[in-house]
Structure 1
Amino acid sequence: MTASPFLALPGAVAAEGVDAGVAGHYGNPIVEQRKLERGEAIVDLSDRGIVTVTGPDRLSWLHSMASQALARLQPGTGTEALLLDASGRIEHAAHVIDDGETTWLVVEGDEAASLTAWLDRMRFMLRVEVADRSAELAVLGAMSTTALDAATPAFAPAGVALDWADPWAAPAPGGHQYAHEAGHPASDWHWIERIVPREALADAAAAVAAGRVIAAGSLAAEALRIAAWRPRLATEVDEKTIPHELDWLRTAVDLGKGCYKGQETVAKVLNLGRPPRRLVLLHLDGSDTVLPAPGDEVVGEKVRPEPEPGEAPERRTVGHITSSAMHHELGPVALAVVKRSVPADLPLIVLSHGIEVAAAQVEIVPADAGAAIDVPRLPRLGVRK
């Protein structure tokens, strides 16, 4: 795959890590954040992958395997879906839009080939065709269609614009939210992903060079995503993650549908149990100008037993950083996955680059998140009153 033309724009600095292949910033990621948030900028997401499913059985077939209800997905409506293993752990996540003829799945770039191969193995005798279209199609992101239109026209091969509007701004019908409603930052998240022919990237980069629209890098997009508590497969998910831990039941799972792999775990944890881990936002001490990296340890002091006078309190590892950013208003912030048992008011420390970074947590999945239904306690056999 050829290098993105956005990397040739003045000031472009290539991103590292999960967003390698696109620009991380163009000289001032803080300014880029503000312009992106105001709907004035676009982000090159050409490192993403695109998988298409065609055929008359496509929606009912995807519906049968995914966590989301897709059988009656209307053309032009964006949703998202997870594919789970038998234990309910997340294997794939896709941004989904259908145009009446084709279902388009936007995924992380390194997921496209494996998802295509897996779906192809599941076709059996159904009238569906699966293809990895990443080499010919690309993605641009923005907070407004105005910015996208200034870069390149909407792509509509079947007459429906392939603009995926992120449903994260509000809980989806059939979903469940663990996070408290009051003050949820998702209401300010108006993310749009436009699928375009890959050759349209050159036109979009030319529009930036001509001053018709502004380019923001992946660092700006990530900072706003983190502030919106929005989970991402490439960063927040590991081999043990179930949707509840990231509050992903909110938009990626329809609890009214059944008969998909992993559904039993989804229902059991929601109705009878508790998420074993939970996602938190961390406000970080920025005095050392250290921004933690994904995988950095999060530690906390043990509450019991109490240390002897003069003895340092014992620490334990309680989680790890998944994403971090310098936000234009919040300062240094991070998303982290921590153990369920970590008290909400426990001061935390992030061990990063040989430095201890103090962190205060904001609950996303609350520490007391419990069963969605009350199970009556049955009397023990043999006990009489």
Structure 2
Amino acid sequence: MIPSPLLRWPGAVPGEGEAVGVAAFYTNPYVEQRELEAGCGFVDLSHWQVLRGEPGAWPSDCPGVHNELPGAHREYLDASHAREVLECDAAGRILSALLHCPGSGADIFLSPPGGPDCGMSPANYIAIGTTTQGAARLRATMHGQPGLSATFWEDWWPGSDRVILLVKDIEMLARAGQAAGMSPVGLFAWTAHRVAARRPDPFRAARARAHLADIYGPGVAGIRESGEARARGSREIGTCESGESGTSQLGEAGRKSLACLYLEGPDEADLPEAGTPVLAERSDEAVVGFVTSAARHWEEGPLALALIREPTALGAVRVAEFRCGVEPIPLPAHAPVAVTIRESGEKSVVSRD
């Protein structure tokens, strides 16, 4: 990947792994978190893929998507409302994820490095992360300029105000941001802001093969099978309420629940990586789940999001060198996501590190 021009910004510290080419932070990650939360920061996401689909064709751009949605449920899944496009196996495990940005000229999809492209063509945009307040400042500053697209992704998760804007020229965006009293902040701040909002990452969920209902709750899309769909060997997708008859609810067995962990341990201890086991604080230290994300927040301290069994009954748990308090995360009543089911035997497109 070609390094971002913002890596030449004073104090920029390059990211590693899938974050190669953009800044992990610039000066002080805690200061940058406060700037982002105050609407004074923007995050370079130029290492993400920005992909273009044909206007009105969504989601049939993606191989294996069966675009025969029951009319009563189309309000949650059509191109003007959908925010996440997920591919699952028949057991409800998330295999891959895209973010969908409804646009006036074409449907735009966002994917992190190594994610699926579904055969779509690259779009001539760069992704920039900010907050609702920061997006309003940038739009006001760049009003009338050709470098900022009207296409954007706005987080629908309760408590999250993240927005991803698309720009043609990231240096033009940086200059406009400076004029609006804003500055670039690193990926550390972006991750900490998400974790503090108790917002699960669909891309990490795909890598962990997390179950759909565990991440998105009872209002998540379920499977509806019709005679015609069975004859084609495909499944139609619609939204459903928890307990609705005639619907096979993905992940209804309630394997795990989303929880926030307050990490208490040595200041010098490394944060747990995704996939680190969560252990019950008992003599047998049974594995009750795994970490999906972790960050050091400027106000709340070290935090982790995890999928664990029966979080309300566990009390404290242990993760690596940390003893952790457990806070169950209420899941949304409705989740504006679109789901395709990859039948066994079909080739899957999977997010990779």
TM-score after normalising by structure 1:
0.69
Give the structure 2 partner of residue 377 of structure 1: none
SS at match of 1:46: coil
Extract unaligned runs of 5+ from structure 1.
118-129, 170-185, 303-312, 367-385
Give the structure 1 partner of residue 298 of structure 2: 328
* Higher relative contact order (CA closer than 8 Å, sequence separation 6+): 2
Whole-Å separation in 2 of the counterparts to 1:209 and 1:60: 40
Give the structure 1 partner of residue 163 of structure 2: 192
Give the structure 2 partner of residue 295 of structure 1: 275
SS at match of 2:47: coil
Which aligned pairs between 1:49-60 and structure 2 lie closer than 5 A?
Answer: 49-58=49-58
What is the deviation of 1:283?
0.3
Extract unaligned runs of 5+ from structure 2.
241-246, 332-353
Whole-Å separation in 2 of the counterparts to 1:317 and 1:262: 36
Shifted more, 275-284 versus 80-89: the winner is 80-89
Give the structure 2 partner of residue 279 of structure 1: 258
Whole-Å separation in 2 of the counterparts to 1:14 and 1:51: 25
Shifted more, 342-351 versus 278-287: the winner is 342-351
Whole-Å separation in 2 of the counterparts to 1:261 and 1:73: 19
Query: Given the superposition, is the C-alpha separation of residues 344 and 48 from structure 1 closer, same or farther in structure 2, using an over 3 Å criterion?
Result: farther
Give the structure 2 partner of residue 162 of structure 1: 151
Give the structure 2 partner of residue 177 of structure 1: none
Does 1:131 find its partner at 2:121?
A: yes
Which one of 146, 170, 186 corresponds to residue 201 of structure 1? 170
Which aligned pairs between 1:1-385 and structure 2 lie closer than 5 A?
Answer: 1-58=1-58, 64=66, 69=74, 72-74=78-80, 79-111=83-115, 114-117=116-119, 130-133=120-123, 136-143=124-131, 144=133, 145-149=135-139, 161-169=150-158, 186=159, 189-197=160-168, 200-207=169-176, 212-247=181-216, 253-254=220-221, 261=235, 267-269=247-249, 273-290=252-269, 291-302=271-282, 313-338=283-308, 340-341=309-310, 344-351=313-320, 356-364=321-329
- What is the identity, as a one-letter code, of the residue corresponding to 1:141? G
Query: Given the superposition, is the C-alpha separation of residues 241 and 330 from structure 1 closer, same or farther in structure 2, using an over 3 Å criterion?
Result: same
Is the contact made by 2:60 and 2:67 (CA closer than 8 Å) also made in structure 1?
Answer: no
Whole-Å separation in 1 of the counterparts to 2:145 and 2:83: 18
Taking only aligned residues, the RMSD between alpha carbons, in angstroms, comes to: 3.5
Whole-Å separation in 1 of the counterparts to 2:215 and 2:3: 33
Query: Given the superposition, is the C-alpha separation of residues 349 and 326 from structure 1 closer, same or farther in structure 2, using an over 3 Å criterion?
Result: same
TM-score after normalising by structure 2:
0.75
Give the structure 2 partner of residue 383 of structure 1: none
Is the contact made by 2:257 and 2:307 (CA closer than 8 Å) also made in structure 1?
Answer: yes
- What is the identity, as a one-letter code, of the residue corresponding to 1:73? A
Whole-Å separation in 1 of the counterparts to 2:11 and 2:55: 44
Is the contact made by 1:97 and 1:105 (CA closer than 8 Å) also made in structure 2?
Answer: yes
- What is the identity, as a one-letter code, of the residue corresponding to 1:236? A
